[in-house]
Amino acid sequence: MRLEVDDLTRPQVVALLEEHLSDMYATTPPESVHALDLDALRAPGVTFWSAWEGERLLGCAALVVGQETGVGELKSMRTAAAARGRGVGAAVLAYVLEQARAAGLTTVRLETGAEAYFAPARRLYERHGFVRRGPFGDYTDDPLSVFYELDLTR
């Protein structure tokens, strides 16, 4: 598997992100969906990676570096349906965390869903050392959101 910074123009990537947004809105009420669309993922301060096996897209993730020094937010973690159960999510997450450390970040945060649909994602984050915390940034308390943080200095 190779991971590369992506410009979000390839049809396979656009389709995977559209599927991601569609699933989020099918699973969660609109006011509790915090997934980014293509325009938001193209914004300054966002790095987006795609994971490939040959010409086959396996997954993706983004890291948003905001105004808080040393802190990044993980967004748009997604594994293609055909690649699930193969460790793609874990490999992509490990790579993004490695890139965050290399960029000098000390903390990575994320928001994910509280519904059963998101249980595999929560287990993945917890296996990688993320710990639950309260809302951060512009997020508010929402029973359908779970917030996590990872201290990259440990």
Q: Where are the domains of the chain?
A: 2-151
At the second CATH level, the architecture of 2-151 is 3-Layer(aba) Sandwich (3.40)
Neighbour-count burial of 92, counting CB atoms closer than 10 A to its CB (0-12 exposed, 13-18 middle, 19+ buried): buried
Q: Phi and psi dihedrals of 142, rounded to 5?
A: -145, 125
pTM of structure: 0.95
Structure tokens at 28: 């969660």
Average pLDDT over residues 103-125: 97
**pLDDT per position as a tens digit, 16-59:** 999 999 999 999 999 999 999 999 999 999 999 999 999 999 99
